Structure 1
C-alpha cells in the first residue's frame, strides 16, 4: 500500500452521481494500450476497465487509440525517445483547451507547456533507474543517460498539484532522486486478473498445443527480450542446468530486439532443450502457457514494476518462481513462493537453481496463488487509483 495512502473501500457509485450522471471525466494518455504493447498497456487497460465500472467516463488517447489517436507507434518502435517526444508534444497541443476533470499520464515526456492542471502521473519504470544500473552495452547506456536527463526535466516541471504513483517501491525512490517531493509519490503495485490467470488440471493438452514436451519439467520465461531482462544470462545458466538435470525444458515466450541473438547464442553453446515461442497472444494463449509450466524463471537486472506483470501472472497461475535477487522481485521471498538467485556468476546461479528443483517446496505453488488473490487483484488495486483521482478532481 502507498505510504500515507488509505486503502478505503469505495462504494460502487463513489465517482458518479446518485442519479447515474457521471461525476468525473478522465483523460488517459499512454503510449501503449492493450492489445498493443506490453506491461504498461495491460496495467492501464485493466485499471480503465475497473474505473469504468465505477462510473468514471474514461477517454483513452494513444498512438493506436481506442478513443483518440495521436503520435506514431512505428516511430516509437524504431526511434525510441524521438517517438515518445513526438507523441507527448502532440498531446500537449491537441489538449491545449480541455475540460477533463483530471488527466492520467503514463511515463510522460512533455517538454512543451503542460495543458493539464490536475494530473496523476504513473511511472512504470524510469530511465534514471535503468541508467544508474548501467543496463546494456556502452552505446545503450549512453543513450539512456541522455534520455534520463530529458525525463528528469519533464517530470520536475509538472504542475505543483500533480500526484505521482510508481508501480514499484524502487520507482518511488527513483522519483525522489529525480527531485519529486516524497509526499507526492505513492506506490500502487502491478496487478493481475486472477480469474483469467489460474492453475489448470489439463496441462498435457495445453503443452501439446504449444509443442512442448508433455512430460518433464518446464521452466517458463515470459517477456520482451531486451537488455534489462538479461536473456543471454538466462540461456547461459540454463545450458548448465540441462547438463545436470534430466527432462528439463526452457520455454521462452516473447519478442524483442535480442530474440534472434538469444537464439544464436543457444545454438552456439549447444543448448538442446530450449524452445523460443516468440510473441504470444496475451488474451488467447498466455494464461494457458503459464498454467502448463512447472516453474517461472526471470533473470532481469532491472524492472520497474513491483511485481512485474509477468511475475504477477505467473504467481496467479500457481507457479513457483525462480528470480534474480533484485529489489523488485523480492516479493517472491515475501510470498514464500520460490527462490531468488544471484546472477553474478552463472555456475553458482545454476547450482542454486538445481538445488531448488531437487528440493522439497510443496507450499510454494499454493502460496503464489494465494498471495496474488489477496494482494494483486485488479479489483482491489483500482480502489487506490479511484481514491487518488477523486482527490485530484476535488482540487
Structure 2
C-alpha cells in the first residue's frame, strides 16, 4: 500500500538514551519501496538513531543502483523478485555471511522484521552467536491466503511462523487483540507495541483546493478517499458497493483511490463513467496532501495486523469508517472519532457509509475528533516503548553471555 517515507525527525522530541545500543535490523523491505512495513521501519530506525543508538540495516539490494547509505549502517544482501510485485525483492539465505558480520560487529540485539529466507538466516546466525533476538508480526498471512486461493497453506504456514517466532526472545505485535489471537495459536513471549503516526506530516492543514480542482471537484463535493494497494486482499468490491450506496443518497459523492496494484486496470474498467479518480501511488508530502484533501475515508480491508492508513487518515482530519479490529478498534470511539462496522458484516459496513452520506454534520464532527485520537500514537512515544524492550533484551543477553563464560571457566574450557 502506498505509504509515506518519514519526515526528518526532530531530535529534541526524543529523550536522550540511557544506554547506547547496537541494534541490527533485518528487513526485506525499506524505502524507497512504498508500503506500510517499509515506512514504519524507517520511522523506527530514524527515531532510534535520534536517541543516539547505532542501527545497522540488513536488507536485500533492490536494483543495481541501490547503494547502502554508509558502509556500517546498511548491509545489502542478494535477493529475488517477489511474484506479482517484481519491483520488490525477497532476501536470499545468508546465514554464514551474517555470522561473519556479527562476529566482527557484534550487536546487542538482532531485530527481525520479516519472516522470509533472510529473516530465517538472521535468526539462525543470531542463535549460533547467542545474540538476543526480537521479531515483528506484521502480516495477516491467513487472511491473505484466503484472498489468493491459498487457504490450504494456512496450517503449514502457521506452523512455520510459530517455530520462527518461538525461537525469538520476544515478538512484538501492534494490538492486544492480535496478541490474544496469536497466543491462542501457540506463539509465546508476545509484547504489544503499537505503530506510530507522523502527525506533523499527516495534518488537515495540508488540504488543497487546487488538488480537489485537479480531481474535478469543488469544496462542496463530498470526497470519499481510499488509500491502499489495489489488490484482492483489500476488499475493494465492498468499497465500490458502499460508495454506490452513498451516491444513491447524495449523487455528489465521489471516490478517489490512491494506490496501485494488480487490480488497477480491472477497476478502471469497472468504474468507467462513474467519476472515480485513480490517483496512483503517492509518497511523502504528496500523499499527505491527498489524505487531507478528502472528506471521508472508507477502509473495508479485513486482512490487516494494524492498518497504518487508519491513523494516517484520522491524523489528516478525515471521517473514517472501518471494520472494528486492528488500529480502527484501538483508535476509534464509535460515533465520536469515527464509525465502525462489525468484522466481516458488509451490510452493516454499507449502512454506516450511508449514514455518512446522509448526515454532513456527523461527518464534520467525526473529522474534528479524529485527529485528537490519532496523535496519541506519536512516534516519540512508540520509539520509547521499543527502546525499553531492546534495553531489557540487551541486559538479558549480557547476563547470558556472562553465565556461559563462567560455566566454561568452571569446566576448564577456553
Same fold (TM over 0.5): yes
Shift of 1:145: 5.0
Deviating above 6 A after TM superposition, structure 1's stretches of 4 or more consecutive aligned residues are none
- When structure 1 is superposed on structure 2, of 24-33 and 330-339 the one drifting more is 330-339
Shift of 1:78: 4.9
User: CA–CA distance in 1 between the matches of 2:291 and 2:170?
Assistant: 35
| Distance verdict in 2 for CA 1:309–1:78, change over 3 Å | closer
Aligned match of 2:81: 74
Shift of 1:76: 6.1
> After superposition, where does 1:180-219 map in structure 2 within 5 Å?
180-181=187-188, 184-200=189-205, 202-209=207-214, 211-215=215-219, 216-219=221-224
Aligned match of 2:328: 329
User: CA–CA distance in 1 between the matches of 2:109 and 2:225?
Assistant: 40
Does structure 2 retain, via aligned residues, the 8 Å contact 1:125–1:171? no
> After superposition, where does 1:57-96 map in structure 2 within 5 Å?
57-64=54-61, 66=69, 67-72=74-79, 74-75=81-82, 78=85, 84=90, 87=91, 89-90=93-94, 92-96=95-99
Question: Over aligned residue pairs, what C-alpha RMSD do you find?
Answer: 2.8
User: CA–CA distance in 2 between the matches of 1:365 and 1:73?
Assistant: 43
Does structure 2 retain, via aligned residues, the 8 Å contact 1:250–1:274? yes
Shift of 1:343: 7.8
User: CA–CA distance in 2 between the matches of 1:191 and 1:73?
Assistant: 30
Residue of 163, 166, 177 corresponding to 2:170: 163
Aligned match of 1:387: 388
Q: Which runs of 5+ in 1 are unaligned?
A: 1-8, 16-22
User: CA–CA distance in 2 between the matches of 1:43 and 1:323?
Assistant: 21
User: CA–CA distance in 2 between the matches of 1:73 and 1:88?
Assistant: 7
User: CA–CA distance in 1 between the matches of 2:157 and 2:270?
Assistant: 30
Aligned match of 1:275: 277
TM-score, reference length from structure 2: 0.78
Shift of 1:212: 4.2
Residue of 142, 152, 163 corresponding to 1:142: 152
> SS of the counterpart of 1:251?
strand
User: CA–CA distance in 2 between the matches of 1:166 and 1:343?
Assistant: 20
| Distance verdict in 2 for CA 1:11–1:234, change over 3 Å | closer
Q: Which runs of 5+ in 2 are unaligned?
A: 1-12, 62-67, 397-414
Is 1:45 equivalent to 2:46 in the alignment? no
TM-score, reference length from structure 1: 0.82
User: CA–CA distance in 2 between the matches of 1:43 and 1:63?
Assistant: 17
| Distance verdict in 2 for CA 1:208–1:227, change over 3 Å | same
Is 1:122 equivalent to 2:136 in the alignment? yes
> After superposition, where does 1:295-306 map in structure 2 within 5 Å?
295-305=296-306
| Distance verdict in 2 for CA 1:343–1:177, change over 3 Å | closer
Larger Rg: 2
Task: List per-residue Cα deviations over 1:315-351 (Å, max 9, x = no partner).
Answer: 1111110112345422353373111235867565434
Shift of 1:28: 0.8
Aligned match of 1:223: 228
Q: Give the total of aligned pairs.
A: 359
Aligned match of 2:371: 369
> SS of the counterpart of 1:381?
helix
User: CA–CA distance in 1 between the matches of 2:206 and 2:113?
Assistant: 38
| Distance verdict in 2 for CA 1:154–1:80, change over 3 Å | farther
User: CA–CA distance in 2 between the matches of 1:316 and 1:115?
Assistant: 40
